[in-house]
Amino acid sequence: MAKSVEPLYERVAVEPLEQEEKTQGGIIIPDTVKDKPIRGTVVAVGCGYRSDDGKILPLMVKVGDLVTYAKWGGNEIELNGKKVVILKESDILAVMRD
């Protein structure tokens, strides 16, 4: 059984965080709101974009970054018993910083 994943080209692998049930202000988040972007930690990154003439252009996000991405982008796989989502870097909206 595979132990690690190597996303191809401009794809990255993200371990999604459990979606918070309440906002910081304590308000319960209704289901409809759960369509909102999802947060997760980058666990693997592809080698980069393949340019038209074959050069490989490195990605911006790094392993360990906390990112937020649109809910419907990406494919979910199972790795070491955990849910991991493979998505394109272009599906990532932003890196969340402390």
| Region 37-96 residues binding a copy of itself, contact defined as CB under 8 A | 37, 39, 44, 46-47, 49-55, 57, 60-61, 66, 68, 70, 75-78, 80-81, 86, 89-90, 92-96
CA distance 48 to 3: 22
**Cα–Cα distances in Å, from 55 out to 2, 21, 62?**
29, 44, 20
Least distance from C-beta 91 to a copy of itself, angstroms? 10
Cross-sheet strand order for the sheet of 11-16: 66-69, 38-45, 11-16, 82-88, 75-79
| Region 4-23 residues binding a copy of itself, contact defined as CB under 8 A | 4-9, 11, 13, 23
CA-only gyration radius of the chain, Å? 15
Positions touching a copy of itself (CB under 8 A) are 1-9, 11, 13, 23-25, 36-37, 39, 44, 46-47, 49-55, 57, 60-61, 66, 68, 70, 75-78, 80-81, 86, 89-90, 92-98
